[in-house]
Amino acid sequence: MRLAGALRTALLGSLLAGALSAPASAGILAQIDQSRQRMRVYVDGSLAYDWPVSTARQGFVTPNGSYRVGLMAPMWYSRKYHGSPMPHAMFFRGGYAIHGTYAVGHLGRRASHGCIRLSPGHARALFRLTQSYGGARIVIRN
């Protein structure tokens, strides 16, 4: 029994050391450039997608900064904006989220109340990637 316990401890220690030494670029990173209205998605440090988005229109704000994805919902309905559908919502700061929109004609220009909107297919792809990697980092800049 002692040998099995020692082997288990050694194996766990080895796995933990490997996890701690993983490269900083591992995982999902979504960079949003508000001036270009584009999102670049990196998977394990390599550019995987470059998509048009819509961020806050005049009179509203999409907050700049670095965030982690928190609550994720395959379908969310806005409590603030008349129950508007927010497919594949990934919240990153309070009520701010990345989510799909059916107003795809507005993508590539400012149109939201502050959330980051994507086409439904792109939102689904990002949602699934984030699920499979156990999270994502969101970086927003002007």
Residue 79 lies in a domain: yes
Residue 52 belongs to some domain of the structure = yes
10 in a domain, yes or no? no
13, part of any domain: no
Cα four-point dihedral sign 117, 121, 125, 131? positive
For the cut 80, the answer to whether the pLDDT of residue 22 exceeds it is no
Amino acid at 129: L
Residue 77 or 4, more confident = 77
Q: Residue range 21-33: average pLDDT? A: 76
Is the confidence at residue 12, as pLDDT, over 80? Answer: no
The pLDDT confidence band at residue 26, using thresholds 50, 70 and 90, is confident
Residue 61 lies in a domain: yes
Q: What is the DSSP code (8-state) at residue 17?
A: H
Distance, CA of 95 to CA of 57 (rounded, Å): 16
User: Angle 133-39-58 (CA atoms, 0-180°, nearest 5)?
Assistant: 130
Is 29 inside any structural domain? Answer: yes
Within-domain flag for 7: no
Q: How many domains does the chain have?
A: 1
Instruction: Give the residue numbers spanning the domain of 47.
Output: 24-141
Taking residue 74's Cβ as centre, other Cβ atoms within 10 Å add up to 10
Per residue in 111-140, pLDDT tens? 999 999 999 999 999 999 999 999 999 999
Any idea what the CATH number is for the domain that residue 95 is in? Answer: 2.40.440.10
Residue type present at position 54: S
The confidence score (pLDDT) of residue 135 equals: 98
Residue 129 within a domain: yes
What is the pLDDT at residue 25? Answer: 60
